[in-house]
Structure formats: C-alpha cells, structure tokens
Structure 1
C-alpha cells in the first residue's frame, strides 16, 4: 500500500534531470495547450459496462446519483461482513486507506470503455489467454526469488500507474509538466515519471523494452497525443502483450477538466482495438511521495518465510 508523508515530492533535477529547470510554455501557448498541473482521475465509473446496463451509455441525473451511492456502498470494505455478521479482521485494508472517489463525473457514463460501443473489452485471443494463465501459474508458486513476484508486489509498477492510467483504489493523481519540446508525466502511484520528447525523434529500437514502454508525443491541434510501444513481457495491461501499441490523447476541455482518452491496439492479444475515456479534474494539492511498504520489507519477509518453509519440509 501507499503511505503519504508530510512533505511534497519535489520534481526537478532529482527525478527529471535539468528538464524542468528550463522555461515552460509561453503565456499564449499555455492558454491553448496548457496541460501543466496536477490532475485527479478518481472515479467510480465501472471500467466495463455492467451487464444489467447493456445498451445504456449514460445515466440520467437521478440514475447517476443513485448509482454513485450504490457504488460507494459496494466498495466500502468497512460495510462487508462475514457469514456471522462480523467485520473480517484480515484480508485487506479498512476503508480509511482507500481513495476511489464518489462520483462518476458530469458525462455520467456507464463505463470507461467507449469502444467497442457496448462498453465491453473485446475478446482475448487464445495466445493472450495462454499467456495470462502461465503468468498466474508462476505467481502462484513458491517464491524462489523476487523475480517470481509481480511488479506490484515489488513496487515497480502499481495497478493504476500506467500507461495507460485508470482510476483505482488510491493514488489517483498525476502531474504533467510541459516545455516547448518535452512533456513529463509523474504518476502518484509508484512515483515514476515518463519524460516524453515532442521533437519527432524515433522510438527506441524494438530490442529495447521498458517497464512503461517507450513514449513519443506530438500535437494534434490542441490535443497532446502520446504513442507508446516497446513494453516488456514482465508487465501486462488487462491481458495485453509486450507488443501493445498505445495511443493516449490529452485534451483541455475547460479550466478544470482534462479529457484523457486512449486506444489499445494489440492483435496478438485482443480481437480488435479498443478505447477508454475518463475525465481528470485539476487539483491544487501537491503530489506527495509514494512510499511502498511492500517493497521496504514485505519482499524480504516473503522470501525469508519461503526459505523457512523449505527447511521444514
């Protein structure tokens, strides 16, 4: 889980070299393409459209209010009880630690997935299903070393660190920095940054694979478009493979709203490309340091326990 400390994460030479020390966009450009700032993407919109809402793309205001309350109650782990009506004492955090939000936003959408039009992800290929089954098998075996555990357990990537970025249990903030020839995206989850050239430079060679892929950006009118490829086979986004091609679009809708859209193209994993959309809201709060306690001592404990179990066999 994440523990927030009482000091802001200062981004500068420590994380991004000298990039952020150069002047940012001129005032005129900021008005047109000003994406810089902290953006909050908390939302209780389901990722896929629930089956009982098939054919319904948006809610009415009254339906939205009722659905929001229903979702907040469903996600509140403090309201869950075992068969004896008691609150379980193990198996996760209490609700204090979660920060999912309480709203589905002014668009009142029934799913983050917008294409296919039914709000559901396309079918996975046989290769993707086999790959995911193998990943599950490896994660279920004894921990011979840290490489046997997933990236989240090792505090390398979190469930909403992206790319792409999606609302999740907590740490639903990102900070975007702009210069004339680069943007940098700092995600609160796992405090990692993508430094993205806007100068038309080519992607890295296909043989170079990275945890968050290799990103290049350009402007399409007033929309920032970021294309990412060269993912590693050590990560997966909802069943994707290392050859996923991701296109993200960031558009300033108004002073307080950033429209975030992305399209996943991965014919090795999905029957067709698919897209999702969420609204990010401007935040005046700083992005605090992410401190991953699982990485601090959880991994040591897991490996020590595994070795102890082997000695007792």
Structure 2
C-alpha cells in the first residue's frame, strides 16, 4: 500500500471525540465580569472524523467502543507497515507530507461523521450544474477567479494560485471552522459588544457584533462575510452572510455568494466547546447541512502566522515559471533559425 493511501486512511479514521456532550447539563459555564458566558482562550479543532459518514454506517451517528479501539490500533500500526524501500510519496519535493499532520486524540463519544444533517451524514444533493473543484497539491484545470484554497490553475500570475497561497483566506477557518491537517487553532476574545474569533491560519480576525446595528448592504461582499451574534442562554449564536462569492460554499462546491452560515458555540466543560454550524445555500445544495466539531482548550499561545511577510514560495514560483517561459521561447527561436 502506498504512503498516499495510508495518509488518506489516517486522515479519515473515524476516531474523533464529541467529548462530554452528555455531561453538559452538569457543567456550570464560567461568566465574564459583565455576565456573559466566557468562551475566551486558545482552542484546537483538529479532528480525525470524516466530513461525510461512510455509507456502511447508514444513519448511525456514533461508533461502538470496539470500533474505536480497532480504529486506534489501525492508526498506530500504519507507520509499521510503510514500505521501507519506497523512494517517493507522490508529493512534490517542497513539502513534507507527514511531519506536521495534526491528529485529534481518542476520548469519549466518537462520531461517525462531522455532518449530522442530512441524517445520513452525507452532503445534500447538488443543484444542477454545480461541480466539484477542491484544488489540491497539483494544478488543476479551471478559470479565474480561483475559489479554492490550496493549489492553483497555473503560474501566469498570482491570481492563478489558490486563496491560501495568496494569503487571502486559510483553508480551515472559513468561516466555518473545518478541521484540516494542521494549524487547527483559534483564539477567542470577548468584550460586552463584540466577540473576536482569531484564526491561526493566515491570522484572520473575525469580528462578531453583539449589539444591534444597521445591516450591511447586500451589494457589499467580504471574504469572511458579515457576522452578527447574540447569546441564547449559554450559547453564542452567530449568523454570517454577505460573502463575496470569491470563496466556495462548502468542501469544494459552488460559490459563497448566496451562502448564509449559522454557528452555535456552547462551552460544555472547562476544556471543551461544542461548535455546531449550519450552511443554508440553495444555490449550491438542495438542502441545508449541519456539522458538529469539538474545540479543545489549548494551554499555549498562538504564534504569528506571517503569511505575506514569509510568502517566498509565491515569488519563487512565478520567477521560475517566467524563467521556464524564457527558456522555451529561446529554444523555439533557435529551432526556427536551425530549420532555415
């Protein structure tokens, strides 16, 4: 079995905890000095749960303890089965495909998928004409504007590259928060009128207004949309709309132009936040979708994600492409004169 296949198995192992969901009623949520639930701190949303539920599980939301243990044994045995004589992983040489891959721990109740609605844990049917363009490690055919985060469609200019390569948006903090292979960290900061969700990836700070105010003009689109929130008991409820349409709706599908995102954050333990989001985008999907992700408290701080300042890869990639173009042009000219 190749390393890439093993990597896929590892990423999609269904061994992420939903944590102490059933103990939420017993937990007394701490309050800020102005009386609101305290969600502040650094949180990690890494997960080994697949976005979609494997079809063999049907409508079953949770794994049995035996299945959890089997998945855990499989995870720890993967490294021992790697081919010792392999010379290439299929990943380009500029990137190490194993060192920084982040994995969630096994603990408590384990879901079979992040998606909980539709009830089968699968994506809703697509609107006719919607295609899947997830991007990837290699360039893929496509048109501008590039809406996916990773990879690109060419090297003619920076606009041919994915959004995260251009330091515009990351590939896991959206909004919505979706676990990826690394940098699954956010810091939450609050005052009476605002909540800030600061993503480690591309150091994006999303301001969620808690006070009433005029709605943003529907013609004004933003990369992260316009977020407004309120407290429903101990739960922070956020509605985000006014996306600019230059990002995808969800998981490589559609455009965010008509997307409305609903999020609910509830602290269910001293080290756990239950994060639930619903996407309503009938321009992409024929039904809404809902997913649940667990946020685990992190004792350390976030370090600066200096994206533009350290984005040497972008310049080097474009320079190399121009050098290749010049070489190819010179070769063609030489061939023309040689033929004469």
Query: Residues 1-313 of structure 1 correspond to what in structure 2 (within 5 A)?
Result: 26-27=32-33, 29=35, 33-71=37-75, 81=83, 85-88=86-89, 90-91=91-92, 92-103=95-106, 105-129=107-131, 136-138=141-143, 141-236=153-248, 237-238=250-251, 239-241=253-255, 242-292=257-307, 296-311=311-326, 312-313=328-329
- Larger proportion of helix: 1
Cα gap change, 1:226/1:285 in structure 2, threshold over 3 Å: closer, same or farther? Answer: same
Higher relative contact order (CA 8 A, sep 6+): 1
The 2-side partners of 1:173 and 1:251 are apart by 17
For residues 260 and 213 of structure 1, the distance between their equivalents in structure 2, rounded to whole angstroms, comes to 19
Residue 193 of structure 1: CA displacement?
A: 0.4
1: distance between equivalents of 2:102 and 2:309? 19
Runs of 4+ in 1 over 4 A off after TM superposition: 71-74, 78-82, 130-133
Cα distance, 1:88 vs structure 2: 3.0
Give, in angstroms, the shift of residue 87 of structure 1: 5.0
List gaps (5 residues or longer) in structure 2.
Answer: 1-30, 147-151, 330-340
TM superposition score normalised by structure 1 = 0.81
Q: CA deviation at 1:27?
A: 3.5
Q: Could you list the per-position Cα deviations for residues 176-215 of structure 1 after superposition, in whole angstroms to 9, with x for gaps in the alignment?
A: 1111111000011111100111002233111111111111
Count of matched residue positions in the alignment of Structure 1 and Structure 2: 282
Q: Residue 74 of structure 2 aligns to a residue in which SS?
A: helix
The structural deviation recorded for 1:253 is 0.9
Q: Distance in 1 between matches of 2:91 and 2:324?
A: 22
- 5+ residue gaps, structure 1, are 1-24
- Larger of the two Rg values belongs to structure: 2
